[in-house]
């Protein structure tokens, strides 16, 4: 591969273009004659000027500096980097979906509405919930929507004093952030060493000011919280609601359901469990499911079905309102729908079984070579507590960077916060035993290198397009856009 | 960790130096060390008033953000604008890199603060 | 077998043996019996590609899309040209199947593309910096209002009633739960009533939100608004159309603190409302308050230019309960689409696209008025959309049904109790022949 290091602006040259606009000769008035000059842009528009072949090569070369699921194993804990079936892309590409305008009358969009209606029903069945909104655009957006629903519910009952949400200290950072944005105060409770809810801490935190509890199960250590029934009972008895963070749903498909565990509100990440591509950080989709008593609070519109047709219902006085334009990331919904049809009930169950088996197998094989945090049955992911040996000169970060040299995407590191030097591994169901064995061998080799050749870890990676970056410099003197005269010269 | 004799310290890891009617506030060596490489200090505006314990700004490293808390109540007289370009000076010289100067409300609030020895003991206890 | 799952029965047996377990079920022995499902999920059986394709194609075919209609509908989603190269480049799975670029060493593709995106959005809006994109234009506007509420003193956001109703709705939802009041600034002649703005601006106001062109397609004159808003120590937030921005006075030129907008027109398909992208740009002063991801330029260990996520201390995974935004992902692939789109058009092409859009819209506008069946709802300059009032009170839904029968997707019905009004949209994709045919078909309506 060529060592390509140019920005699109740097290959720009006046007079080039990759675009030709069709000119209509019947309407060639000067712009100033139709829009007053005072309303027009004065500053020049700095965009690159490149031809199509240059442009295609530029972005193709950029893509080659990336690592995706299609490139290699991506055991990034809590992100469920499973294979993204190509059929999904083709289905979303049908012009009946891709060229459908969101403001069209529902008589013209019956197929899209049916798909959304069916998908909601499938997601309800998978989670043991009663109704879904497909509007949220991502997991964090789903959390926010779910928390707003909880708040609206309490307020609708005149219960204004429930202003607090309980979040365990092992939670994803989005949980407390979402609760804050939804206007709640946060009560953080300690987890047990295994990342489970500490029942005594929970009891102490519960009261008539608590709107609910946010929980991930299996938790962020990849362990199933066996007290879930008791937790649900305690929260409900205190008048609170239970929110399920669906980040770890891939562990339990067809085995158990959040609704059956007692959760009132859930969000799923369609880009995790339901195989839609992450796209380098989006678009995702974060549908929110609720039990029947919360259904009136879902965002508008809701897809409804009458005898012969589907429609969008806006007349919902208790609704929290809208969290996004139109109906959600529809193109992503088509992909998830395709995945569910392809997998069927049996395939979804098998996916979770293999995700758990793969994680358990790696955990078993690595437990003698790394610091074990919880030597117990894991679900779809597990957490190691860094390298063994008090005297090691290498860090978890070094292990992660060394994996890059061996062609693997590193696991999630330093999360959850309750595990020192955490290495969080989630293989998903998409990987073959051969890949797992290779990865295990490399992980063991790296643990040995940490003792025999620590510099190999500390200098890693050396085989990637760039080496470790200076993050301090990036944050201290931010350069957030390209300037015609280079903003940084090589400083000594 | 380093401390400087003659300064007051809060349990939130700010130091306070008294010069006449003026209080000068920064963060301790212990605080800069636990934050890591500081990349940005957000400072208040002159004439802003804060009570003891109020957040008067934030201090950010690459992977952390921490509120700056008033050791005593007071009105901001001056902010250290050089921190905008040189936030790293808080790491290299925490007791010279002051953040704000204030006119304090009530001298008696100083009684709640620690001296160098007391602060050192507090940090050891906390660890 | 399942095509997406590699483990064979033999593999499973080997792995179970390594674990000392005798069955796959044993992996789930930690799930309490009380919550076990113990039945098959009531979903379809696994289907083949052929079966799935047939089933989903049948649903797609039930829709009548803009692929088979001539589109004069806008109102938040726009039928602009989507260059061919886009689908080929964003379909590259190195982009498409990557996660958030947390490991810069193997994510320079995504990171550099976002850096280019940020540059283009900042240049387009005339602002200093931009973030890596947000969910959509409406939620980006709500995030901008949240930013204002978190950093300015007060408890009220003012929003012009000429902003898109969906955007107003999303802003209202976000503000309601944060305890911030949303007050609408009324309109006069289809544009924000400046007297109403003056009357409502006070010390409680944290931000003022306007849209350009506004919901009715009108190009408003926002001269002097920034000064008034700043006088009240609030932030001026402009929601702008990105194609229009090539032609119209920019948020930067108007003195806005934050520029946001819906990025869909930048090469993203209509997709029944999503996925799109929201963009957000700001002055340097607001840079460290921006929500969402931001990519910055730095160097690697060898001093080589490199890109990385930066200013992360703003973000939810660090601030947790102190974060003023909970946004985690951006719409990276849609932002990449926008980046490629702006690289295709370039400075001249985007201007020509915008200018050609405006010219054709005016051509259609004059032709439609010449039929005698319409009059302008507002006598104001516009960019791509214009509202017409139906003379004689014919029903817009019935007019649109007539157009639909003739293969034309008419404008949005924005009628109220006083008048029948229709909001037409004409982009550079509409040919003169198509516009003439719209007029012909309307002439044939039984007025």
- Round to whole Å and give the CA distance between B51 and A267: 41
Interface test with C, best of B41, B49, B60 (most C CBs within 10 A): B60
Question: In terms of Cα–Cα distance, which of A344, A348, A343, A124 is closest to A254?
Answer: A348
Question: In terms of Cα–Cα distance, which of B55, B22, B21, B20 is closest to B41?
Answer: B55
- Domain residues of chain A, as ranges? 8-63, 86-342, 351-473
CATH number of the CATH domain containing C378: 3.90.1150.10
For residue A491, what pLDDT is reported? 42
| CB-CB neighbors (< 8 A) of B39 in chain A | 472, 475-476
- Round to whole Å and give the CA distance between A476 and A473: 5
C4 belongs to a structural domain: no
DSSP state, residue A271: T
Query: What fold is seen in the domain A86-342?
Result: 3.40.640
Question: In terms of Cα–Cα distance, which of A138, A345, A151 is closest to A257?
Answer: A345
Q: Is residue C313 a contact partner of residue A164, using CB atoms and an 8 Å limit? A: no
Task: State whether residue A467 is helix, strand or coil.
Answer: coil
C60 belongs to a structural domain: no
Question: In terms of Cα–Cα distance, which of C231, C265, C245 is closest to C78?
Answer: C265
Residue A2 has pLDDT above 80, yes or no: no
- Round to whole Å and give the CA distance between A380 and A80: 9
Mean pLDDT, residues A43-47: 94
Phi, psi of B50 (to 5 degrees): -135, 145
Q: Is residue A142 a contact partner of residue A268, using CB atoms and an 8 Å limit? A: yes
Number of domains into which chain C is organized: 3
For residue C312, what pLDDT is reported? 85
Which subunits have 3 or more CB–CB pairs within 8 Å of chain B? A, C
Domain span including residue C371: 70-78+346-443
Task: State whether residue A241 is helix, strand or coil.
Answer: strand
Interface test with A, best of C106, C296, C318 (most A CBs within 10 A): C106
- Give the contacts of C294 (CB within 8 A, at least 6 positions apart): A478, A480, C118, C129, C131, C132, C309, C310, C311, C314
Interface test with B, best of C313, C316, C321, C325 (most B CBs within 10 A): C313
Of A208-217, A481-490, C82-91, C437-446, the poorest mean pLDDT is in A481-490
Q: Is residue A99 a contact partner of residue A331, using CB atoms and an 8 Å limit? A: no
C399 belongs to a structural domain: yes
pLDDT tens per residue, range A433-473: 999 999 999 999 999 999 999 999 999 999 999 999 999 99
CB contact under 8 A, C288 and B42: yes
CATH number of the CATH domain containing C337: 3.40.640.10
One domain for residues C242 and C270: yes
One domain for residues C334 and C351: no
- Round to whole Å and give the CA distance between A388 and A366: 11
C59 belongs to a structural domain: no
- Supply the mean pLDDT for chain B: 92
One domain for residues C260 and C304: yes
For residue A490, what pLDDT is reported? 45
CB contact under 8 A, B40 and A476: yes
CATH: 3.30.460.10, 3.90.1150.10, 1.20.1290.10, 3.60.150.10. Which one for A351-473?
A: 3.90.1150.10
pLDDT tens per residue, range A310-349: 999 999 999 999 999 999 999 999 999 999 999 999 999 9
Q: Is residue C307 a contact partner of residue C299, using CB atoms and an 8 Å limit? A: no
- Put simply, the chain C residues between 318 and 377 with a CB less than 8 A from any chain A CB are 318-334, 336, 339-340, 342-353, 355-356, 358-360, 362-363
- Round to whole Å and give the CA distance between C348 and A14: 9
| CB-CB neighbors (< 8 A) of B62 in chain A | 471-472, 475
Mean pLDDT, residues A121-136: 98
Q: Which residues pair with C305 in a beta bridge?
A: C299
| CB-CB neighbors (< 8 A) of C311 in chain B | 40
Give kind and range of the element (H or E) at residue C9: helix C9-19
Give kind and range of the element (H or E) at residue A12: none
| Contact residues of B toward A, CB < 8 A | 37, 39-40, 60, 62, 87-88
- Round to whole Å and give the CA distance between C37 and A280: 35
For residue A486, what pLDDT is reported? 56
One domain for residues C103 and C169: yes
- Round to whole Å and give the CA distance between C430 and C80: 9
**How many Cβ contacts (< 8 angstroms) between chains B and C?**
21
B84 touches chain C (CB under 8 A): no
Residue A233 has pLDDT above 90, yes or no: yes
CB contact under 8 A, B64 and C288: no
One domain for residues C326 and C363: no
Give kind and range of the element (H or E) at residue C281: strand C278-282
Q: Which residues pair with C169 in a beta bridge?
A: none
Q: Is residue A104 a contact partner of residue A357, using CB atoms and an 8 Å limit? A: no
Range list of H helices, C41-180: 49-62, 84-90, 93-96, 108-125, 137-151, 165-178
Domains of chain B in start order, with CATH, are: 8-120 (2.40.50.100)
C178 belongs to a structural domain: yes
How far is C-alpha C431 from the chain's CA centre? 25
The label of the residue with tokens 């965009």 reads: A47
Task: State whether residue C142 is helix, strand or coil.
Answer: helix
C124 belongs to a structural domain: yes
Residue in C288, C318, C319 nearest the CB of B40 = C288
- Supply the mean pLDDT for chain A: 94
- Give the contacts of B109 (CB within 8 A, at least 6 positions apart): B52, B72, B73
- Tens-level pLDDT at each residue, chain C (447 residues): 899 999 999 999 999 999 999 999 999 999 999 999 999 999 999 999 999 999 999 999 999 999 999 999 999 999 999 999 999 999 999 999 999 999 999 999 999 999 999 999 999 999 999 999 999 999 999 999 999 999 999 999 999 999 999 999 999 999 999 999 999 999 999 999 999 999 999 999 999 999 999 999 999 999 999 999 999 999 999 999 999 999 999 999 999 999 999 999 999 999 999 999 999 999 999 999 999 999 999 999 999 999 999 998 877 777 777 778 899 888 999 999 999 999 999 999 999 999 999 999 999 999 999 999 999 999 999 999 999 999 987 999 999 999 999 999 999 999 999 999 999 999 999 999 999 999 999 999 999
CB contact under 8 A, C109 and A63: yes
Min Cα separation B62/chain A (Å): 6
- Give the contacts of B96 (CB within 8 A, at least 6 positions apart): B89
- Give the contacts of B92 (CB within 8 A, at least 6 positions apart): none
Range list of H helices, A315-420: 330-366, 396-405
- Give the contacts of C165 (CB within 8 A, at least 6 positions apart): C215
| CB-CB neighbors (< 8 A) of A471 in chain C | 298, 308, 310
CB contact under 8 A, C330 and A282: yes
Question: In terms of Cα–Cα distance, which of C104, C99, C113, C136 is closest to C337?
Answer: C113
Give how far Cα C377 sits from Cα of C13, C75, C398, C412, Å.
73, 16, 19, 14
- Round to whole Å and give the CA distance between A455 and C104: 20
pLDDT tens per residue, range B50-98: 999 999 999 998 878 889 999 999 999 999 999 988 999 999 999 999 9
Q: Is residue C146 a contact partner of residue C182, using CB atoms and an 8 Å limit? A: no
- Sign of the CA dihedral B91, B92, B96, B101? negative
**How many Cβ contacts (< 8 angstroms) between chains A and C?**
696
Min Cα separation A146/chain C (Å): 12
C304 touches chain A (CB under 8 A): yes
User: Last residue of a domain, which of C321, C341, C361?
Assistant: C341
- Sign of the CA dihedral B63, A489, A463, A86? positive
- Round to whole Å and give the CA distance between A137 and C97: 18
pLDDT tens per residue, range B94-123: 999 999 999 989 888 989 999 999 999 999
């Amino acid at each position: 591969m060529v060592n390509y290091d140019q920005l699109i602006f740097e290959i720009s040259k006046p007079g080039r273009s990759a675009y030709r606009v069709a000119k209509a000769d019947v309407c060639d008035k000067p712009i100033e004659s139709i829009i007053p000059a005072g309303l027009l842009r004065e500053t020049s528009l700095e965009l690159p000027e490149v031809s199509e072949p240059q442009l295609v090569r530029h972005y193709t070369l950029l893509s080659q500096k990336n690592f995706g699921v299609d490139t290699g194993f991506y055991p990034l804990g809590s992100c469920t980097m499973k294979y993204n079936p190509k059929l999904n892309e083709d289905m979303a590409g049908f012009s009946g979906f891709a060229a459908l305008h969101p403001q069209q009358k529902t008589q013209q969009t019956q197929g899209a509405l049916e798909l959304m209606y069916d998908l909601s029903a499938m997601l309800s069945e998978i989670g043991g919930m009663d109704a879904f909104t497909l509007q949220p655009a991502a997991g964090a957006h789903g959390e926010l929507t779910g928390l707003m629903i909880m708040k609206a519910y309490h307020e609708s009952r005149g219960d204004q004093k429930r202003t607090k949400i309980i979040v365990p200290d092992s939670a994803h950072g989005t949980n407390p952030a979402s609760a804050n944005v939804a206007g709640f105060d946060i009560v953080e409770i300690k987890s047990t060493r295994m990342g489970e809810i500490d029942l005594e801490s929970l009891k102490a935190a519960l009261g008539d000011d608590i709107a609910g509890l946010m929980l991930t199960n299996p938790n962020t250590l990849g362990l199933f919280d066996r007290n879930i029934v008791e937790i649900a009972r305690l929260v409900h008895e205190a008048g609170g609601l239970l929110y399920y963070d669906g980040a770890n749903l891939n562990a339990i498909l067809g085995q158990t359901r959040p609704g059956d565990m007692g959760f009132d509100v859930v969000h799923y990440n369609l880009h995790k469990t339901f195989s839609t591509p992450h796209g380098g950080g989006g678009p995702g989709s974060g549908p929110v499911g609720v039990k029947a008593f919360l259904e009136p609070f879902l965002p508008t519109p809701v897809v409804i079905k009458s005898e012969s047709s589907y429609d969008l219902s806006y007349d919902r006085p208790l609704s929290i309102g809208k969290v996004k334009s139109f109906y959600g990331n529809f193109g992503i919904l088509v992909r998830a729908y395709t995945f569910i049809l392809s997998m069927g009930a049996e395939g979804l169950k098998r996916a979770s079984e293999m995700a758990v088996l793969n994680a358990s197998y790696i955990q078993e094989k690595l437990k003698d070579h790394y610091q074990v945090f919880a030597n117990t049955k894991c679900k779809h992911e597990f957490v190691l507590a860094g390298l063994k040996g008090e005297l090691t000169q290498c860090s978890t970060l070094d292990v992660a960077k060394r994996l890059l040299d061996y062609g693997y995407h590193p696991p999630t590191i330093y999360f959850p916060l309750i595990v020192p030097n955490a290495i969080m591994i989630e293989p998903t169901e998409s990987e073959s035993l051969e890949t797992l064995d290779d990865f295990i061998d490399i992980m063991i080799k790296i643990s040995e290198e940490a003792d025999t050749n620590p510099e190999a870890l500390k200098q890693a990676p050396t085989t990637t397009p760039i080496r470790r970056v200076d993050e301090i410099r990036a944050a201290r003197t931010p350069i957030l856009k390209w300037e015609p005269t280079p903003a940084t010269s090589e400083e000594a | 960790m380093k401390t400087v004799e003659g300064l007051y310290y809060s349990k939130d890891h700010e130091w306070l130096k008294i010069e006449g009617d003026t209080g000068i506030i920064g963060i301790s060596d212990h605080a800069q060390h636990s934050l890591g490489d500081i990349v940005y200090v957000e400072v208040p505006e002159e004439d802003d008033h804060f009570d003891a314990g109020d957040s008067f700004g934030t201090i950010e490293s690459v992977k952390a953000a921490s509120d700056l808390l008033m050791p005593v109540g007071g009105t901001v007289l001056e902010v250290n604008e050089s921190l905008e370009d040189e936030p790293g000076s808080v790491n290299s010289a925490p007791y010279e890199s002051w953040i704000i100067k204030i006119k304090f409300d009530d001298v008696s609030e100083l009684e709640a603060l620690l001296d160098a020895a007391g602060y050192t003991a507090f940090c050891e206890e906390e660890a | 077998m399942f095509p997406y799952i590699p483990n064979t029965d033999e593999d499973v047996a080997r792995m179970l043996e390594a674990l000392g377990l005798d069955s796959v079920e044993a992996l789930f022995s930690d799930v309490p019996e009380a919550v076990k499902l113990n039945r098959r999920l009531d979903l379809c059986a696994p289907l083949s590609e052929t079966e799935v394709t047939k089933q989903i194609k049948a649903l797609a075919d039930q829709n009548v899309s803009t692929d088979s209609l001539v589109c004069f509908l806008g109102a938040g989603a726009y039928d602009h040209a989507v260059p061919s190269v886009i689908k080929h480049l964003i379909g590259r799975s190195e982009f498409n199947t990557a996660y958030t670029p947390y490991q810069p060493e193997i994510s320079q593709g995504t990171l550099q593309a976002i850096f280019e995106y940020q540059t283009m959005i900042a240049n387009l809006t005339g602002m200093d910096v931009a973030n890596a994109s947000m969910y959509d234009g409406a939620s980006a506007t709500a995030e901008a209002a949240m930013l204002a509420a978190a950093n300015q003193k007060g408890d009220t956001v003012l929003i012009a009633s000429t902003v898109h109703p969906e955007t107003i709705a999303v802003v209202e939802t976000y503000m309601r739960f944060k305890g911030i009041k949303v007050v609408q600034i009324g309109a006069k002649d289809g544009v924000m009533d400046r007297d109403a703005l003056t009357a409502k601006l006070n010390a409680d106001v944290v931000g003022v939100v306007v849209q350009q062109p506004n919901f009715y397609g009108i190009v408003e004159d926002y001269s002097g608004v920034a000064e008034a808003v700043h006088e009240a120590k609030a932030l001026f937030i402009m929601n702008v159309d990105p194609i229009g921005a090539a032609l119209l006075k920019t948020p930067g030129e108007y003195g806005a603190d934050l520029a946001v907008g819906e990025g869909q027109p930048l090469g993203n398909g209509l997709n029944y409302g999503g996925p799109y992208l929201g963009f957000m740009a700001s002055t340097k002063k607001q840079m460290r308050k921006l929500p969402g991801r931001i990519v910055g330029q730095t160097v690697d260990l060898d001093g080589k230019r490199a890109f990385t996520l930066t200013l992360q201390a703003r973000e939810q995974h660090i601030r947790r309960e102190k974060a003023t935004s909970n946004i985690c992902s951006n719409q990276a692939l849609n932002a990449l689409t926008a980046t490629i789109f702006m690289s295709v058009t370039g400075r001249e092409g985007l201007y020509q696209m915008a200018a050609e859009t405006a010219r054709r819209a005016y051509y259609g506008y004059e032709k439609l008025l010449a039929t005698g069946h319409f009059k302008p709802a507002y006598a104001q300059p516009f960019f791509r959309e214009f509202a017409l009032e139906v003379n004689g009170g014919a029903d817009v839904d019935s007019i649109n049904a007539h157009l639909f029968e003739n293969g034309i997707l008419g404008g949005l019905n924005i009628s109220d109790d006083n008048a029948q009004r229709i909001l037409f949209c004409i982009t550079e994709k509409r040919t003169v022949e198509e516009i003439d045919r719209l007029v012909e078909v309307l002439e044939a309506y039984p007025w």
